[in-house]
Structure 1
């Protein structure tokens, strides 16, 4: 491990409020596949850790929700869970903790702005959870998730059904086909793309949305239709 990477890990430990006994775990959690030879990707990059961290995150958040909302039904809890463990939320946490500063990337990924890519940041956030779990156990991982996801849980507002789900249910209620989404444009550099997506419902309303990911653009398009049709207020978007 290079001295510079050691310093990056020390700085990261300060930001995440956790000191690793085995720093090789967090080193792996910060290593993108582009920085590892192909035959060693599975064991020296964060891919397997991201898989584990995703499951630990879901369990901790589910437990937080059960305790915070004792009267909520399964559907309500599931919608809250989906909001909190989705990639966009994980990327927000990564940005807040500046996890991008410590990521090891291959030359090509560095040049294309990999430290700022939402998908990479989200994966690293989950991998760091796994590293903490492997290093300090479930309680340490739960404490990390609680510190960084509880404020987001408490701040959840607006409709818990996402826009795409709500639009689909509305269309079905009207006897209309399932909405279809088509990407019509992609612009901007690789590290900060903007997508444009059109949504259409045969015999029903159409809309268009833009976002930093295709999913975000789809949500924006669906939200526009819901607001126009009076299903949601403008504040919901």
Structure 2
């Protein structure tokens, strides 16, 4: 099985070879290869299809939710973080055409590149098929997130959400302990979120911001989980392994 066939199998769609290659062509690769077309136009198209598909699903499935809550839920599931996580779960990074600079800095794992490529693949699905096929792809990818209470509850900015939650429970001051490791061209960061001097969440990423967001999301789930009602100290006793 070719790499292209493997990717399409993971996505569960058919995309013609030329459109698929275009969807996987990052601007860094295009620049190093004579300014060939990039995936940015397909990304633009896919972003619109993604937004409409999710909005349509939320509107139909939640007849009693006000506009503000619908908007918050949509933002949560179409965020760069959410799309990047989907991309990682599908192993999309190994298929993206990247320039040498991006390869050296682990571009295949960067949230922004993964998210943009996922949108481009949605756009490519539409171009090679039709709107219904693209919509079905979106719902296969995003559908599980629409049922994830933790994702929908916190929205896209986990650091703000955990700050608000900690303040509402008077848990104490929030502090992120961040450490970096590895060479400059492939540096990774790990973060531990402490609230009131106790560890509540861990996170890793290719930037300090990404690691802190991961730690905030981890802590938010701890504080919102089934054991949260038993007391913050109990939840904070051990930080879940990533």
Scaled by the length of structure 1, the TM-score of the pair is 0.71
Offset at residue 206 of structure 1 (A): 9.6
Query: 1:28-39 maps to which residues of 2 (within 5 A)?
Result: 28-37=22-31
Cα distance in 2 for residues equivalent to 1:210 and 1:97: 20
1:122 to 115, 120, 128: 115
1:69 to 2:67 alignment: no
Structure-2 separation of matches of 1:55 and 1:207: 42
Q: 2:21 aligns with which of 27, 40, 62?
A: 27
Structure 1 distance, partners of 2:213, 2:182, is: 18
Give the 3-state SS of the residue equivalent to 2:125 in structure 1.
Answer: helix
Note the residue ranges of structure 2 that are not aligned, 5 or more in a row.
none
Which whole-Å CA distance do the structure 1 matches of 2:213 and 2:12 have between them?
36
Contact preservation (8 Å) 1:207, 1:224: no
| Structure 1 gap segments, 5+ residues each | 1-5, 174-178, 200-204
Corresponding position of 1:144: 137
Partner of 1:11: 6
1:190-209 maps to which residues of 2 (within 5 A)?
A: 190-191=185-186, 193-194=188-189
Shift of 1:10: 2.2
Can you list the C-alpha shifts for 1:92-118, whole angstroms capped at 9, x where unaligned?
Answer: 211222222321122332233322222
Provide the aligned length of Structure 1 versus Structure 2: 219
Alignment of 1:1-237 (within 5 A): 7-20=2-15, 22-37=16-31, 41=35, 44-157=37-150, 160-162=153-155, 163-166=158-161, 186-189=180-183, 190-191=185-186, 193-194=188-189, 211-212=204-205, 213=207, 214-218=209-213, 220=215, 233=232, 234=235
Cα distance change, pair 155–45 in 1 and its aligned pair in 2 (3 A): same
> TM-score of the superposition, structure 2-length normalised?
0.70
- Following the alignment from structure 1 to structure 2, what is the Cα–Cα distance between the partners of residues 54 and 216? 25
Q: Is the Cα contact below 8 Å between 2:30 and 2:38 reproduced in 1?
A: yes
